Chain A
């Protein structure tokens, strides 16, 4: 099973990198209750990819559309800034409704665009990503994006924690809460945009949510949640990917299924702890 998976070494490395960086950011996504902001940004990002594929098929702006990640990044960053600044609150729309509108419209527009894209495999890539298509070059790109993001979160852990836990008090101690929130959402947008083109909406959303939930179920401290989330994400990526190759299963759903099993095990462990 492992030997079959190692035939796609670069794909496995790519999946592992995506799992680690998404799971680390996912701890904030889950604890701050912005799970559906993550989903909406992922959907915006996928709409960017769909637009690039559509324009490429139409022969428009061929120089730019050869790099769908540029479109993915632009849409993800627009979403990150919008939600980071409190998205729609000033217009009197409840935050969850704004997220819902963004998600629904971005998903619908993405599907409309992809349905008219000329590329035959575009539809599958849009829905499921294309983990098996990850090349050695993609692995380096993913590392180049993930390492700075993880370093930012490691160095400024205290600042991100403070503005997430108690923004009012952080403000009185001189923290620019808006700026720190924007930086958090900015890193989230960058990671989602780069992960999206390989992993697809469903898998990126999985890595942002399920490992962190497993961490919350098992651990009792912030450090513990980060450690369990990262371990759960790596196990899910490795086991899911290794099972998908020999059994000819789509990699993304296989990884998500393993993440689900780990979350269930975490829930069981939580019940045992309570006894």
Chain B
């Protein structure tokens, strides 16, 4: 499959500070990749390199020309002080197409409603965004990302701070969008257990360490113990993989030092 995004021996960082070095991988069309790791490990740095707001210190990050990203930011990065209706927030996903200084048309509004219907909250279109639950807000932000007709959907910690039911529903929705629309998805998360059961591949980022592979390749006790630096068990229950750190686990000999 065609690679949409390619990292070629890319070293990423800020100024003289290297966060991740010598990254080589690609994200092919139709992939569902989970970018997983603890806070501060470098997930956001990789995301910035993909979105073009951070140039690699060495190597290259290539993006297929004409690629459109549908970006779903962390829910709390949005300012809910602004009293905006859900449909008006979704319309923002078309602002770059509407053009500078112009107002969205009836067609844009119709597309926003279609996107809301796609994520199952069309009935909330006229409600204020700040009156919605966490899961509903996330759906509205996903609808905004979809209304721009993206090639790649990028979600930054979409289930952060959500309860079990909302988490399951949001991850189910993203999986459905991937399968139904053959949408390429990159999902950033610190919650390995959540992501592992929905994505096709996992890119695991720990402090100065990076490993990418299929879920089967990454979700092994040997790989995870080595990457996280503590002994972990990987069990399976009803077809779901579950990672559990061993209680009183000692540092794994030869493992990467944990952050």
- Interface residues, chain A, with chain B CB atoms under 8 Å away: 31-33, 155-156, 158-159, 161-162, 164-166, 168-175, 216, 219-222, 224-225
Contact = CB atoms under 8 A, between A and B. Distances in A.
Interface residues of B, number: 28
Contact of A169 (B82, B103, B104, B144): B144
| A33, A164, A165 interface centre (most CB from chain B within 10 Å) | A165
B163 to A, nearest CB: 24
Given A156-B101, A158-B98, A171-B51, 9 more contacts: A159-B95, A166-B73, A168-B71, A172-B69, A172-B71, A220-B128, A221-B83, A222-B84, A224-B83
Interface of A is mostly: helix
Contacts of B148: 173
Nearest to A156: B101
B181 interface: no
B82 A168 contact: no
B51 to A, nearest CB: 5
A171 B50 CA distance: 13
Contacts of B252: none
Contacts of A170: 92, 95
Nearest to B73: A168
B85 interface: yes
Given A31-B81, A165-B82, A220-B83, A159 B100 contact: yes
B82 A155 contact: no
B54 to A, nearest CB: 11
A114 B201 CA distance: 68
A136 to B, nearest CB: 33
B77 A221 contact: no
A222 B81 CA distance: 11
Interface of B: 51, 53, 69, 71, 73, 77-79, 81-85, 89, 92-93, 95-96, 98, 100-104, 128, 144, 148, 154
B79 A168 contact: no
Contacts of A164: 79, 82
B84 A32 contact: no
A168 B77 contact: yes
A220 B51 CA distance: 34
A219 B82 CA distance: 11
Contact of A32 (B79, B101, B104): B79
Contacts of A155: 101
B92 A162 contact: yes
A203 B92 CA distance: 35
Contact of A221 (B85, B92, B100, B101): B85
Contact of A166 (B69, B79, B104): B79
Nearest to A171: B53
Given A169-B73, A169-B144, A172-B71, A161 B82 contact: yes
Contacts of A32: 79, 81
A173 to B, nearest CB: 4
A155 B101 CA distance: 5
A166 B95 contact: no
Nearest to B98: A158
Given A162-B92, A169-B92, A172-B69, A219 B101 contact: no
A33 B82 CA distance: 11
B191 to A, nearest CB: 20
Contacts of A216: 83
Nearest to A174: B96
B82 to A, nearest CB: 5
Given A31-B81, A161-B82, A173 B96 contact: yes
Given A31-B82, A171-B53, A165 B92 contact: yes
Contacts of B144: 169
Contact of B92 (A166, A219, A220): A166
Nearest to A158: B95
10 contacts: A31-B81, A32-B79, A32-B81, A158-B98, A165-B82, A165-B84, A172-B69, A173-B71, A173-B93, A175-B95
A166 B84 CA distance: 12
Contact of A219 (B81, B83, B84, B96): B83
B231 to A, nearest CB: 37
A222 B101 contact: no
B148 to A, nearest CB: 7
Contacts of A171: 51, 53
